[in-house]
Amino acid sequence: MARVFLSIGSNLGDRAKNIKKAISLLKQEGIKIERLAKIIQTKPVGGPQQPLFLNTALKAKTDLSPHKLLKKLKKIEKAMGRKPAVRFGPRVIDLDILLYNNLTFKTKTLTIPHPRMWQREFVLEPLRSLISSVRLRKLKKQICCSVK
Where residue 71 falls (left for φ over 0; alpha for ψ -120 to 50; beta otherwise) is alpha
Tell me the CA distances in angstroms from 55 to 6, 28, 40, 109, one per residue in order: 11, 21, 5, 23
Q: Which pLDDT does position 146 carry in this prediction? A: 44
Domain range for residue 112?
A: 2-147
Q: Is the pLDDT of residue 39 over 90?
A: yes
Q: Which pLDDT does position 142 carry in this prediction? A: 56
Nearest alpha-carbon partner for 59 in 100, 4, 128: 4
Q: Which pLDDT does position 140 carry in this prediction? A: 61
Active site residue 91: yes
CA distance 71 to 27: 15
The pLDDT confidence band at residue 65, using thresholds 50, 70 and 90, is: very high
Active site residue 63: no
Active site residue 96: yes
pTM exceeds cut of 0.85: yes
Number of domains in the chain: 1
Q: Is the pLDDT of residue 131 over 80?
A: yes
Which distant-in-sequence residues (6+ apart) come within 8 Å of 83 by Cβ? none
Q: Which residue has the higher pLDDT, 115 or 29?
A: 29
Pick the catalytic residue: 3, 96, 120, 128?
Answer: 96
Active site residue 137: no
Give me the CATH number covering residue 99: 3.30.70.560
Pick the catalytic residue: 14, 35, 63, 91?
Answer: 91
Q: Using one digit for the tens of pLDDT, what is the confidence trace for 85-105?
A: 767 668 899 999 999 998 888
